Structure 1
Amino acid sequence: MVKKVGKYEIGKTLGEGTFGKVKYAVNTETDERVAIKVLDKEKIQKQNMGAQIKKEISIMKMVRHRHVVVLKEVLASRTKIFIVLELITGGELFDKIVSEGRFSEDTARFYFRQLVDGVQYCHENGVCHRDLKPENLLLDENGDLKISDFGLSALYEGGGPDGPESSRASLLHTTCGTPNYVAPEVLADKGYDGRAADVWSMGVILYVLLAGFLPFDEPTMSALFRKIQKAEFSYPSWFTPRVKALLNRILVPDPETRITIKEILRDEWFVNANGSDEQVAPAAGPGTISAELAAAPVPSPVDHMTIKPSQADLDAAILEHQDEINSGKKEKPDGGLKVMNAFDLINMCGGMALNRMFQSNDEKRVKRSTQFTSTIPAASIMTRLTGHLESLHCEINVENSSKVKAVLQTPKGAVGVVIQIFMLADSLHLVEVRRGKGDIFEYHKFYTQLNEQMKDLIAAGSS
C-alpha cells in the first residue's frame, strides 16, 4: 500500500536536513508532481524553531514569482508538518557549476539576472532571503533559476504589507546564513538591513559562478571572518574589467556605500554592451532521480491548514505531542535492497543510453549528479563503502544491506551523506549518494574522493 498524506502519495526522499526530509509526492486529485518538506515537530520544539517555521510559511505564502519556488499548501499530522512545494526537476545550480568547472560570462549573467529579478521582487514585498547561496538556487526543467529555502528568512518592517513604516527598514538582529556568503555587517553582530546583506550574498554567488570557487574561503572561522569583514579577495585572471567593476561595488564592507539592486540593474556588465536584456537560456540537462512511490501503510489523518501572510499560526500543530505517522518502508527479504523497475532505471540513469530510447510522460525526474553504477554484488559495494567511510573517521549508521548514513567532519563543519544501493538488474547496481546537510563544497570533495576510491568498481561511463 502506498503511503499517503492527505491527497498526496509520498515517494522517495529527494533531500535531508536538520529538521526533516524533502519527499517526492503526487497529488492524487490532479496528478501534479510536488515536493513535500516533512518537518519533525519534536526536533523543531527542542530547537525552539516553531516561530521560525511559522515565519517561513508566512513568507513563502506571500511570494509568487517565476524565479521563486512556490509554496502550495501546508498540512499537519500529530507529529509532522508537511509543506507542499513546487517540484523543481533540474537539480541544484551548484551541480551545474561543479560539472562545468565555471561559467562563461554570458551564462553567469543569465543566472545572475534571474537571481536579481527574484530577489528584487522579494525585497519589494518586504521579504529578505538572508541565506542566498548556490545550493539554494535550483533549476527547473527549462533551465531557469528558482530560489528556494526561506528557512532563514525574516520579514523586515517598512517594505511589507504589515510594516508600520514604508520608508524605513528595521535592522535584523539574527546572525544566520552560510558563513562564506554572509555579509560583514551580519558577522559584526550589530544588526543589519537584510536587503543590503542579500546584495552581498548575490555578489559572492556571481563570483562563484564565474570562478568556480569562493572568494572567501579560509581553514578557520576566525580567518574567514577577518577576510569577509575586510573584503580581502583576489580575482582570477579571466575576470573581465567590467565584471570586476560590478563586484567591486557589491563586495563592499560598508552596507551604506554598497551598491543597491536598482543600481545593479543599470550596471554596464549586467545590462551588457548592447544594452539588451534578452538572453538565451543555457541548455537544460535531463533529470536523473526516480519518481517511484515508496510502499508503506497509510498514515493517520492530517489536518488541512490554510495559511495567510498575516496569519501563519501553526502553534497548535507544533505543540502537539502524539504518536508519529508510520512512515516505514516495506523491507525486502535481503534487508532492504530495492529492485528497480524499468521506469526507475530510465529515470535514475538519465545519462545512459536508455534515457535516450525511452521517455516517461507520466513521471517527473529530478536531476542528481552524484551517482554511479557497478557490476559487482551489493554486499561487496557496501563493504567498500563502509571501509572508505571508516578511513575518513565518519560517524556511520548502516540502516540495512543497501543503505548507509554517515557524518563527515570537515574544516567547514559536519557534512551528512546518505548512500543507497539499488538493483537495476541481476548483475548491475546503482549507487546514489546524497548530501544530507553541511557545506556543499566539502560534500563534492567527499564525492570526488569516493569516486577515486571506488573507481575499480564503477561501470565504465556511469559516474
Structure 2
Amino acid sequence: MEASAPLTPTNHSVGKNCAVVMGKYQLGRLLGRGSFAKVYKATSMADGSSVAIKVIEKSRPMTTLMEPQIMREVAVMKRLRSHPNILKIHEVMATKTRIFLVMELASGGELFTKVRRQGRISEGAARRYFQQLVDALRFCHENGMAHRDIKPQNLLLDKSNVLKVSDFGLSALPEQLRKDGLLHTSCGTPSYTAPEVLYRRGYDGAKADAWSCGVVLFVLLAGYIPFDDTNLVGLYKKINSRDYRFPEWISKPARSLIHRLLDPNPATRMSLDTVGETAWFKRTLGPSNRSDSCPAAFLLQDNSLQKECELAAVSSMNAFDIISLSSGLNLSGLLETPDHQSAGKRFTSSANFEAISDKMREVGGRYGYSLEKGKGGSFSLDKGRVALAVEVYEITKSLFMVDVKVVGGGGAAAVFEESHWGGWRDGLQEIVLSWHNYVM
C-alpha cells in the first residue's frame, strides 16, 4: 500500500501543528531519536488509544545498512508479542520513503533513566524488575530466540511500572543457529556482553543473555556498571578476569546470584532456569506473567516489506559495526584515536603476536609493503608515504585485539579505505574473529 502523503498536516480534529500517519494515527510529541529513526507518541484515530510510532527514513544511507536489523526486530517482536513483558508491535506500514513501526507505548520510559535519576533502586524494586526480565527472556529462549543486547536502555516501563523488553534488532532467530546448534556472530554492547561472544567460535545465546542479566541486576542495585574502563582492551580484560567489586549495601544472596551469572565460563554460568529456582528470586514472586490471550492482528500494509519480515534467515551485521550506531551508547571514549589524521580498523584474533605479524607481512607483501619492527606489541608496514601502524593487545592468553591505523598525508587514509581494505580483509580472514571500524 502506497500513500502519496504519509505525514499529512491537518487543520481539523487533530490540531494545527500535528500530523497524521496514513490517515490512521495522530502524531504527538517526540519521545526519542536514534541514528536512523525517530519515535513519537501517537493516538489511534479509530479508538483513541495511545501508541508509539518509530518512523524510519528509507532515504538515509544508514537505513540501508541497518535494514537487516529492522527486519529482524519486526520478525522477532511478531513472534513474541503474546508475552506481557515484551514490547508489542501492533502494525507495520510503509511507503516509498518511510517505514512506520506502530508499537505499544511504554510511557514510563527507560529503566536506565530511572536508575540514573535515583542513583540506584531498592533491592525489592530491583527484584521485581529482574523477575519480569528473566521471565520474558525465558519465554524468548523457549521459542528459540536470544536477545543479545540486554541493557537498562532496552528495558522500558509502562504507565503501571511494568517492565517491557524492547529493541530486538540484534536478536537471533532459531534459523541463525549453525549445525553445531550455536551462534557465531559477535553481538551486543561491550559492558553488557558475555566474554564468549567475542570469540565467535560458537556460543549459547541463552547463556549470553544470562550474563547480561547479571550485569543489569548489578546496575540496578549498585547504580553503576561492574566492568568499566575508558579503554576497550582494558574493559575486556576486566570482563574476562571477573574484575569487579560489590558495594557494601548489596545483600549476600543478591551477590551470590550476580557472581554466578557473571561467570566467564558459560559451561558453569548459572542459567536463567536455575535463577528462577533461587530463594532470592522467588521472594514475593507473584503468579506467572504469561498471557494466553490472543493479541491483536499483526498487519503489514506493504507486501514487499511483509515478505522481507517473513524471511526465516536474515543477514546480520557485525555487532561492533552496529553498536557504534546505537543512540544509547557513546563509544567515543573507547574507540577514538588522538591522531585525527589517521583512520583504521580493529579486529580480534585468537592468533598470537608472531602469527599476526607474519600474516600481515605476507598480505602486505602483495601490495608492496615492507614490515618494520617496532617495540613490544607494535610494528608497521611501510610503503612510501603511506604506512600501517599496528598495535597488538593481549586480552587473554587466547584472545588478542589488533589496531590497524593508516598513517599518511594527502588523503592517503581515504584512498586506502576506498581501494585497499577489501583486499586486506580477504587476506587476513583466516586469523580474524571480528572486524570493526574506528569511530573518528
TM-score band, normalised by shorter chain: 0.5 to 0.7
1:56 maps to a residue whose letter is E
Per-residue deviation, 1:29: 1.1
- The 5 A counterparts of 1:38-437 are 38-43=55-60, 47-63=64-80, 64-157=82-175, 170-272=181-283, 276-278=284-286, 304-305=301-302, 312=309, 410-412=332-334
Following the alignment from structure 1 to structure 2, what is the Cα–Cα distance between the partners of residues 408 and 144?
A: 27
Per-residue deviation, 1:120: 0.8
> Structure 1-normalised TM-score?
0.58
Number of the residue aligned with 2:323: none
Cα pair 1:180 1:224 within 8 Å, conserved = yes
Per-residue deviation, 1:207: 0.3
Candidates 7, 21, 26, aligned match of 1:5 = 21
Change (3 A) 1:72 1:268: same
Asked which structure has the greater RCO (Cα within 8 Å, sep 6+), the reply is 1
1:131 maps to a residue whose letter is D
| Superimposed CA distance per residue, residues 201-233 of structure 1 (whole angstroms, 9 cap, x where no aligned partner) | 000000001100110011100000111122221
Gaps spanning 5+ residues in structure 1: where? 280-302, 315-406, 415-463
Following the alignment from structure 1 to structure 2, what is the Cα–Cα distance between the partners of residues 230 and 307?
A: 48
Following the alignment from structure 1 to structure 2, what is the Cα–Cα distance between the partners of residues 79 and 123?
A: 35
| Superimposed CA distance per residue, residues 327-347 of structure 1 (whole angstroms, 9 cap, x where no aligned partner) | xxxxxxxxxxxxxxxxxxxxx
Following the alignment from structure 1 to structure 2, what is the Cα–Cα distance between the partners of residues 79 and 309?
A: 16
Cα pair 1:9 1:27 within 8 Å, conserved = yes
Change (3 A) 1:244 1:260: same
- The 5 A counterparts of 1:444-463 are none
> Structure 2-normalised TM-score?
0.61
Following the alignment from structure 1 to structure 2, what is the Cα–Cα distance between the partners of residues 68 and 118?
A: 6
Change (3 A) 1:44 1:191: farther
Q: Does 1:24 pair with 2:32?
A: no
Change (3 A) 1:43 1:156: farther
Change (3 A) 1:8 1:269: same
Change (3 A) 1:68 1:80: same
SS at match of 2:109: coil
1:411 maps to a residue whose letter is G
Cα pair 1:24 1:36 within 8 Å, conserved = yes
SS at match of 1:185: helix
Tell me the matched-pair count.
Answer: 290
1:177 maps to a residue whose letter is G
SS at match of 1:270: helix
SS at match of 1:88: coil
SS at match of 1:26: strand
1:255 maps to a residue whose letter is P
Please give the root-mean-square deviation of Cα atoms over the aligned residues, in Å.
2.8
1:26 maps to a residue whose letter is T
Following the alignment from structure 1 to structure 2, what is the Cα–Cα distance between the partners of residues 209 and 201?
A: 12
Change (3 A) 1:308 1:243: farther
1:55 maps to a residue whose letter is R
Cα pair 1:61 1:308 within 8 Å, conserved = no
